[in-house]
């Protein structure tokens, strides 16, 4: 079964609109875990516009499932904090400082060697390292060569094709081929970005071996209608199929 990691960034974004501490990121994590989520994901950015560094430390104290911290290893305190907390997994994402959200994977032909020291540093601390990549079969061998344990497929192009109905078969086959290339290279496969209750089932049925999906925006939007516990449960039902 593909595991579900719940991204709490949008909970933190709403909390930060007021200085009264609600909604609570910690309480949201507890609800997600009680509902059966296999992991919790956060993506602290240097401007702390949603998840704050203090949230990461508080979550590390109470999360009893897999803890995944996303971020750009060349920005802010990300690597320092990851090395101190030692989460189960880090996911390196090539965000620029002003990016609204993650919108592309690593260009490993260009940046791969620059990642080698930070990959080695965190792996030596016992942390699994995943790299956020596009559905490109060419990057998988490089990801393995520079020391990554897993890749996370950036799935917005798939989600867009699903929503529009345009080139869906072609795009899905591209992701299936990328997943197979990752598996052939000896990498674990994660996926995330704009996956939702409508498109998740098809993706996981067509892309073999997906170990984990990280879902935040859509899941939190669903939680506004059905509650967080129920939203997590609905995603788990799909993954269970």
Catalytic residues: 43, 70, 193
Residue matched to tokens 């920005």: 75
Alpha carbons 225 and 132: distance in angstroms, whole number: 30
Closest among 76, 84, 94 to 127, alpha carbons compared: 84
Q: In terms of C-beta distances under 8 Å and separation of at least 24 residues, what long-range contacts does 78-81 make, across chains too?
A: 78/44, 79/118, 79/121, 79/122, 81/44, 81/53, 81/56, 81/57
Q: By three-state DSSP, how is residue 236 classified?
A: helix
Name every residue whose Cβ is closer than 8 Å to that of residue 237 and which is 6 or more positions away in sequence.
none
Residue among 104, 106, 148, 105 at smallest CA distance from 128:
148
């Amino acid at each position: 079964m593909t595991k579900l990691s719940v991204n709490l960034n949008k909970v933190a974004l709403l909390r930060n609109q007021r200085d009264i501490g609600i909604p609570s990121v910690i309480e949201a994590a507890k609800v997600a875990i009680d509902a059966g989520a296999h992991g919790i994901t956060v993506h602290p950015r240097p401007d702390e516009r949603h998840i704050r560094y203090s949230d990461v430390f508080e979550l590390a104290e109470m999360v009893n499932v897999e803890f995944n911290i996303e971020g750009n290893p060349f920005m802010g305190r990300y690597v320092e904090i990851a090395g101190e907390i030692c989460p189960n997994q880090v996911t390196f994402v090539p965000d620029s400082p002003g990016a609204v959200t993650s919108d592309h994977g690593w260009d490993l032909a260009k940046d791969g060697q620059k990642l080698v020291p930070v990959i080695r540093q965190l792996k030596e601390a016992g942390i699994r390292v995943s790299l956020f990549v596009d559905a490109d079969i060419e990057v998988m061998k490089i990801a393995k060569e520079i020391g990554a344990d897993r890749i996370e497929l950036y799935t917005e192009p798939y989600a867009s094709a699903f929503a529009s109905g345009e080139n869906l078969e072609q795009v899905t086959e591209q992701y299936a081929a990328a997943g197979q290339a990752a598996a052939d290279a000896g990498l674990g496969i994660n996926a995330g970005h704009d996956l939702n209750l409508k498109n998740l089932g098809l993706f996981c049925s067509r892309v073999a071996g997906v170990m984990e999906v990280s879902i935040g925006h859509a899941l939190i939007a669903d939680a506004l209608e059905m509650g967080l516990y129920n939203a997590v449960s609905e995603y788990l039902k799909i993954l269970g199929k």
